[in-house]
Amino acid sequence: MKKEKSGIVRYIILGAVFVAVSLIYIFRLINLQVAGQDYYSMTSPIRERTRTVRIQAMRGEIFDRNGKPLVTNDYSWEIQFDYGSFPRNSGERNDVVVSTLKMIEERGFGESLKEPTYTPFDVEVADTGELRFSFNAEFEDTSRYEKFTKLAADIGVKEDMTADEAAAKFLSRYGIVDGEGIYLYGLHDSARLFLYRLDMELSDFSPDSPYTIVTGVDVPMISALEESIGRGISPFRKYERVFHYPGYASHILGRIGRITADNAEYYTSEGYPIDAMVGTSGVEYSFEEYLHGTDGEMLITEDTFGNVISTEVTKEPKAGCDVYLTIDINTQMAAEDALYRNIEEVRMNSAGEGTHTGEDCFSGALTALDIKTGEVLALASCPTYNLATFSEDLPGLLEDKNSPMLNRALEGTFQPGSTFKIGMAVGALDSGVIDENTLIKDEGVYELDGFQIRCWIYLNYHLTHGWMNVTDAIQESCNYFFFEVGRRMTIEKMNDYSKSFGLGLPTGIELNEKTGILAGPEYVEENDLRAWSGGDTLQAAIGQSYNLFTPLQISAYISTVVNDGTRYAAHLLSRVTEYGTGAVVLEKQPEALSTRKIKEGVREIVLGAMKRVIEDGSVKEIFEGFPITIGGKTGTAQVSVTKSDNAIFTAFAPFDDPEIVVTSVLEHGSTGANAGRCVRDLIGHYYSVDMNAAAEETADDDAD
């Protein structure tokens, strides 16, 4: 019995020893695999990893026809959060963000911080000492909305949740609150941290897309951040657009901005990174294919602690090309200044509020074309804006009732008034409807199929022009004469000639433009308007009815008439050159869009009549003493019984060998003659006329 008991004890002791040994081995194994990990990590060879970052290519620069810089690049430093070395732990990420923000503000760069403006939440510190969240109503219109809704659904945000409830999900996701919902970084820091962390995620923060936190920093700031924080931040040298003539040519040059949701698919398919800066308007947009560069790539090798071991450029960045425009910046500035002065003079010389004599004239456009090539020499729109301060000025620009961001030279459409009579005269003479000796008697009131319409002189003074030939009718701008000419021509023939002159058609310019409206049966049918009548033809014949054209179209139309029927494409591009070398990549050549052979002698008759408008017509006083012989035509178009009429004036110079055509439109400028001053001043500038001397000579002649 004793022997049996001792055997059992022995088994118990052996079992206990076995269990103890097993526990020792298990403990040792755990120690080797978990607790001893740091030791073996330290004593084992340091692991390396590689990542590829983008090297930003320089954007091409913009110059005028003479090589004067209009838009160039300037360079500055910015600090980015670098995904490759950014901590993976939420708490450590938050520490980096908060510490970086504080250091930037302490060193005086707070105003240069990138604000996370495109987030779905607004946040404020409530009086109760809590954060209060609300949804940003404008966020739905941004390119990030779809991404946010998917992200929100993934973390359990329901559609019926309040902003506070939805925000709580993100606060927890980013480790800004603990398990009890207590803020870990103080209310102010937590609010900012929430917005930045969400902005980073919605910005596709990734190895290929670093997150810019501050711009315009200096080297000491960079050094301080690297020494204090180090991991997760990276300095980046970037370029910014510099405008050498701020406030001028703004509608022409345009702006650059981030890719938007509307065009993201196109640009990404072209190889652009999603955060690329692209042209959004003007030349920057239209010549994006030349101006944009191709980004390069750099391979970065790091150790497990984010320390850079080596770098290698695997793809060199390629700068964009430089673009040279057809405008001369001095001529452009002269055009804008002349237009602004003319508008002010009209208001100053008006008879006062409610008189409809130009007291409500605040806006207009002025365009200049090279007749022989179609080159755009100037495009002025008033009021305008300053590209250099656009972001700060934007709220005021949007509220301005005079719409300063509207490019009236290309996107403003206006009735041409009596400037339309030039094309009518050419068409009537060329088609044989009239000749230079045809006489038509102005009887004041013209009747057709029960429709009555008055000549302007009868309407205003109860007088008539009497017997008129085509030259007299152009000089005196006789409506009655052109009512009869329009009836004889028919609307079909009128529009056939109008189209050959480019009215109602694209001018060819590379910027966005409106093509205007050419009145006629075709237009009313397409727009389900009432049937075209004979009365409509009479109104169309003097540039009214539905006729609406841009100032540049009017310049192009007059240029075609002066060119004896050859219509050149208007264009702003002069040439494209390689960045840095100046090698010509593309040189723009004049392009004839159409040619209509006009019967011999017609051009001379019409241009001669336009010369008489200047010398003996309503603008005689404005051009008296002007040393360059020119031809021109006024136009006045009623827009409302409660406002002054629009004023239009177009002219070409010099008369004997025309080179330039200039057109001005003053909204509510009252009379066509009022629009002549800026045209005169621009032509004077173009030919280096001493306008003060010309004015003094005119004054001396008047004294004699």
Rounded CA-CA distance 258/269 in Å is 16
Range 213-237 burial, b when 16+ CB lie within 10 A, else e? bbbebeeebbebbeeebeebbbbbe
Q: Is the peptide bond before 654 cis (omega within 30 degrees of 0)?
A: yes
What confidence score (pLDDT) does residue 556 get? 98
What pTM, to 2 d.p., does this model score? 0.79
Nearest-angstrom CA–CA distance, 591 and 571:
9
Q: 526: buried, middle or exposed (CB in 10 Å: 19+, 13-18, 0-12)? A: exposed
Confidence of residue 307 (pLDDT cuts 50, 70, 90): low
Confidence of residue 604 (pLDDT cuts 50, 70, 90): very high
User: Taking 90 as the threshold, does the pLDDT of residue 275 lie above it?
Assistant: no
pLDDT of residue 138: 84
Determine the Cα–Cα distance for residues 197 and 99; give it in Å rounded to an integer: 14
Kindly list the distances between the CA atom of residue 252 and the CA atoms of 280, 553, 591, 679, in Å, as whole numbers in the listed order: 12, 16, 21, 19
Q: DSSP alpha helices (H): ranges in 32-186?
A: 37-43, 90-106, 145-154, 163-173
Q: In the predicted model, what is the mean pLDDT of the chain? A: 89
Query: What residue ranges do the domains of the chain occupy?
Result: 45-68+244-324, 79-236, 329-387+406-703
Please give the pLDDT value at position 305.
Answer: 62
Q: What tens digit of pLDDT does each residue of 122-150 get?
A: 999 888 888 999 998 888 877 788 889 99
Crossing angle (nearest 10°) for helices 145-154 and 187-202: 110
Structure tokens at 256: 């650059």
647 compared with 14, residue with greater pLDDT: 647
Whose tokens are 């190889």? That residue is: 271
* Topology of the domain covering 45-68+244-324: Penicillin-binding protein 2a (Domain 2) (3.90.1310)
> What three-state secondary structure class fits 209?
strand
CA separation for the pair 472, 480 (Å, rounded): 12
Alpha-carbon gap, residue 385 to 399, rounded angstroms: 13
pLDDT for 481 equals 98
Q: What 3 state SS string does 218-281 have?
A: CHHHHHHHHHHCCCCEEEEEEEEEEECCCCCCHHHHCCEEECCCCCHHHHHHCCCCCCCEEECC
| Strand pairing report for 62-63 and 322-325 | parallel
Return the closest-CA partner of residue 58 out of 205, 256, 224, 209: 256
Distance CA 210, CA 200 (A): 9
Q: Rounded to whole angstroms, how far apart are CA atoms 167 and 194?
A: 9
Query: What percent of the chain clears pLDDT 90, i.e. is strictly above it?
Result: 70
pLDDT recorded at residue 32: 41
Q: Which fold has domain 329-387+406-703?
A: Beta-lactamase (3.40.710)
* For range 374-400, the mean pLDDT: 96
| Bond from prior residue into 551 cis (ω within 30 degrees of 0) | no
